[in-house]
Amino acid sequence: MAGWLDRPVLNVLQTGLDASSLRQQVLSNNVANIDTPNFKRSDVNFQMALGAALGEESPVLQMKQTSPKHLSSMSAEIDGLGIVTDRTTSLRNDGNNVDIDREMANVAENGLYYNSLTRAISSQLGLMRMVIKG
């Protein structure tokens, strides 16, 4: 009975919750550093985080650069957790690139995503409860 919660759907949903939680921390860090000179905003690449959790080696499709005017796909630093730091832009003279309106929209979007994942997990557990009760 130890592995009855170890189902692929629940594992993917749990990974999504972990990525959403990580994104909330990253977005909170962006907002906290809005007045820090030379601070560069970060975000979480969900596809990379989910792919890494599922054991995929390259979960993100690489874009082809057909013109020297195209932005390079390596314009941001990516760490092992799927956190992407945008070092290519600066919105202010002090080198900071955090836009509070964008960050708050991302926080709202992440909250909706988190809520939808918790509803999906609740639904999955409700189905298991129904099967157990018969």
Per-residue pLDDT reduced to its tens digit, 26-39: 999 999 999 999 99
Which pLDDT value is given to residue 122?
A: 93
Q: How far is residue 41's CA from residue 94's CA, in Å, rounded to a whole number?
A: 14
pLDDT at 61: 46
Q: Is the Cβ–Cβ distance between 49 and 60 less than 8 Å? A: no
* pTM for this predicted structure: 0.72
pLDDT at 3: 61
pLDDT digits (tens, 9 = 90+) for 61-115: 455 666 666 555 444 444 556 788 888 887 788 889 999 999 999 999 999 999 9
Output the pLDDT for position 106. 95
pLDDT tier for residue 1 given thresholds of 50, 70 and 90: very low
**DSSP codes of every residue in 83-97:** EEEE-S--SSTTS--
